[in-house]
Amino acid sequence: MIDLGGRRVLLVEDESLVAMLGEDMLLDLGCEVEIAMRLDKAVALARGADIDMAILDVNLGETCSYPVADVLFERRIPFIFATGYGLAGIEPAYGAVPVMQKPYQIAQMERLLRHLVTCETLPTKAGGRPLACGCSPGAKTGGPQQMRAD
């Protein structure tokens, strides 16, 4: 089993109370957390911070986190989106990025972060569907065809 301990995660989330929850979950998973709650800081951290992966809340109040995603694509840092709107809420160009459904659940977060660590196919900007890499992070053991209904 891949250990997430010590992985450095950028968490971009604009609501204070939700950010606290996300941070706690990441800390429980053994990750080190950098939080950004505003777009400018998120972009700065995505550009400069020493991070292994990221979780981006899509909707940051009046703006979206796509500029952060673009920087992460450029730096080839894997990331997932978090959204309460479902897949339809993601712009098609970012359709290949794995999506974590809000409200946050630690099991889902853990599976998707593990996926980011293990999957060798990095999504790119320009579309596609989530997990086009063929992985199924829903499965407990590996194998692209195994799915679990959780």
Partner 1 sequence: MQTFDTTTTTLPTLRRDSQLHETERRLNAVLNNASVAIFLMDDRQHCVYMNRAAELLTGYSLTEVLARDCPLHDIVHHTYPDGRPFPLAECAIDRAFPENNQERGEEVFVHKDGHFYPVGFTASPIRDDEARIIGTIIEVRDITEEKAAAERQRLLTNELNHRVKNTLATVQSIAAQTFRGKTDTAARQTFDARMVALSNTHNVLTAQNWQSANLRSVVEGALAPHALAEVDTGRFDLVGPDTRLHPKVAVTLAMALHELMTNAAKYGALSVPEGRVGVSWTLEPTGAGERLDLVWTEQGGPPVTEPTRKGFGSRLIERQLPMEFDGTATLAFAPTGVTCHLCVPLTALGWHGQDLVTGRAAR
Q: Which of 62, 134, 145, 149 binds partner 1 (CB under 8 A)?
A: 62
User: Of 1, 6, 16, 134, which lies in the binding site for partner 1, with binding defined by CB under 8 A?
Assistant: 16
Judged by CB under 8 A, the residue of 1, 17, 88, 107 near partner 1 is 17
Q: Check residue 147 for interaction with partner 1 (CB under 8 A).
A: no
Rule CB under 8 A: choose which of 8, 37, 106, 119 binds partner 1: 37
34 binds partner 1 (CB under 8 A): no
Contact 119, 133 (CB under 8 A): yes
Q: Which residues contact 9 (CB under 8 A, 6 or more apart)?
A: 26, 31, 32, 33, 34, 51, 52, 53, 54, 55, 113
Conformation bin of residue 12: beta by default, left when phi > 0, alpha when psi is -120 to 50? beta
Assess whether the previous peptide bond of 103 is cis (omega < 30° from 0).
yes
In the shown chain, the binding pattern of residues 73 to 112 toward partner 1, with x for contact by CB under 8 A and - for none, equals ----------------------------------------
